[in-house]
Amino acid sequence: MKVVLRIGGSVLGSPPSAEIVNEYADVISDLNYEGNFVAVVVGGGQVAREYIRSASKMGLSPYQQDTVAIHASRLNARLVAMKLGGVSSVPTSIDGMLQRLARNRVAVMGGLKPGITTDTVAAMVAQRWRADLLVKASDQNGIYTADPRVNKKAKKLEKITFEKMKEILGGSHKPGIHSIVDPVAVAHLTDSRIRLVVLNGSDAKGVIKAVRGEKIGTTVT
Ligand code: UTP
């Protein structure tokens, strides 16, 4: 199976926790061993958001704010890539990522361009690579009827359609956006119809469950 694994910066920690990076490396090796190909897309986390805040206070444009955040995600991606096989650089384009995936069972990248988040990068890789599944490891248990950090009455959804996801999570991009799935990625996934599982990434093994089709987080089909 071709799996895109999007690891939220909020899951890795800022700076990334060695323990969590190692757990994800083990899970990715297990997935490879079971015959899966894995495209990993890593986010920039709190550090990226702090750079955005500084850049904003300095009067830099939203484009420049996004640009510094992209570098934070690439640094995280490089760390994960090194643990997985010692590569010295990470792809900075979808074509570059696809070239790596054509040669290897696993490839890792971070951010791509201003105006999106790594959710969209993951959705773009999934579409071009014709992935079977996109798993987003996030800091929440799945997609809720509303943002659970704001609305305490929000309920977790187990299985929803792309249209329902768009209804709940549609909108537009702004630097540092912290949505369970960013609105641009939601639009991409609604077009490409690639199955998405959003789960709590604090236990990396949850990703194996998602790939095996076991019940976890929220599935969007
Ligand atoms: P990330 O996608 O790195 O977020 O986007 P994250 O830390 O993993 O977030 P969680 O864990 O899912 O919540 C952080 C910011 O980096 C910029 C955007 O400003 C985005 O909000 N970014 C990232 C881009 O502009 N382009 C990219 O391709 C990636």
Q: Which residues lie with the beta carbon below 6 Å from any ligand 1 atom?
A: 8-10, 43-45, 48, 52, 66, 69-70, 73, 111-114, 116-118, 121, 138, 175-178
Helix H or strand E encompassing 189: helix 183-192
Q: Output the pLDDT for position 216.
A: 98
Assigned token pair, 187: 């639009």
> Would you tell me how many other CB atoms lie within 10 Å of the CB of residue 128?
15
Residue 21: other Cβ atoms inside 10 A: 21
**Average pLDDT, stretch 72-95?**
92
User: For a pLDDT cut of 90, what percent of the chain falls above it?
Assistant: 89
Which residue lies with its CA nearest to atom 8 of ligand 1?
43
- Residue in 96, 126, 112, 109 with CA at minimum distance from that of residue 191: 126
Considering only 40-49, 161-170, 205-214, which range has the smallest mean pLDDT?
Answer: 161-170
CA distances for 135 relative to 21, 123, 132, 181, 192, angstroms: 16, 10, 10, 11, 15
Q: Is the pLDDT of residue 204 over 80?
A: yes
Q: Which of 52, 60, 90, 117 to mutate to test the pocket of ligand 1 (most atoms within 8 A of CB)?
A: 117
Distance from Cα 17 to the centre of ligand 1, integer Å: 18
- Residue to mutate (ligand 1; options 17, 46, 70, 79; most atoms within 8 A of CB): 70
**CATH class of the domain whose range is 2-220:** alpha beta
Task: Return mean pLDDT, the chain.
Answer: 95
> Where would I find the H helices in 86-161?
94-103, 118-129
Structural domain boundaries in the chain: 2-220
CA distances for 88 relative to 78, 85, 208, angstroms:
7, 9, 27
CA–centroid distance, 187 to ligand 1, in Å, is 16
Using the mean position of ligand 1's atoms as its centre, give its distance from the Cα of residue 69 in Å. 7
Q: Calculate the alpha carbon distances from 40 to 155, 171, 202 in Å.
A: 29, 25, 16
Residue 111 has pLDDT above 80, yes or no: yes
Q: Is the pLDDT of residue 181 over 90?
A: yes
**pLDDT tens digits for range 139-167:** 999 999 988 888 889 999 999 999 999 99
- Could you tell me the pLDDT band of residue 87, with boundaries at 50, 70 and 90? confident
What are the phi and psi torsion angles at 213 (to 5°)? 85, 15
- Which two structure tokens, joined as six digits, stand for 73? 């995600």
198: tokens are 């959003």
pLDDT at 73 over 90: yes
For 182, phi and psi rounded to 5 degrees? -70, 150
Whole-number pLDDT of residue 175 = 82
Confidence of residue 201 (pLDDT cuts 50, 70, 90): very high
The structure's pTM equals 0.95
Q: Rounded to an integer, what distance in angstroms lies between the CA atom of residue 70 and that of residue 98? A: 19
Ligand 1 centroid to residue 34 C-alpha, Å: 30
Whether the pLDDT of residue 178 is over 80: the answer is no
Q: Does position 213 have pLDDT exceeding 80, yes or no?
A: yes
In the structure, what pLDDT confidence band is assigned to residue 170 with cuts at 50, 70 and 90?
Answer: confident
pLDDT for the residue 114: 96
Distances (CA, A) of 117 to 30, 45, 156, 215: 27, 11, 23, 27
Burial class (CB in 10 A: 0-12, 13-18, 19+), 115: middle
10: CA distance to ligand 1 center in Å? 10
Q: Whose CA is nearest to atom 15 of ligand 1?
A: 176
- Ligand 1 atom nearest to 176, measured from its CA: 21
